[in-house]
Structure 1
Amino acid sequence: MVQYRPHTTVVLAMSADGKIADYKRSPARFGSGADKAHLEKQIAASDAVLFGAGTLRAYGTTLTVSQPILLQHRIQKGKPAQPVHIVISHSADLNPEIKFFQQPIKRWLLTTKAGAISWQERLDQKKGVPLTTMKNEVQEYPPKFEQILVFETPIGTIDTLAALQHLASLHITRLAVLGGGELVASMLESDLIDEIWLTVCPLILGGAAAPTPVGGKGFLSQLAPRLELLEVQTVEQEVFLHYRLQRP
Structure 2
Amino acid sequence: MLNIGIFGASGRMGRLLVQETKKHPDLCLSSVFVRRSLSPSLIQILPENTFVTNDLEQFLTHCALVIDFSLPQALASLLTALRKHPLPLVCGTTGLSAPVWGDLQELSQHAPVLHSSNMSLGMAVLLKIVSVIAKDLKHADIEIVETHHRYKKDAPSGTALTLGQACALARGWDFEKVRTTHRDTPRQEKEIGLASLRGGNVVGKHTVGFYLDGEYLEVEHVVSERDIFAKGALQVAKWLVLQPPGFYGVENLYH
TM-score by length of structure 2 reads 0.34
Structure with greater helix share of residues: 2
Tell which has more relative contact order, 1 or 2 (C-alpha 8 A, sep 6+): 1
Larger Rg computed on CA atoms: 2
TM-score by length of structure 1 reads 0.34
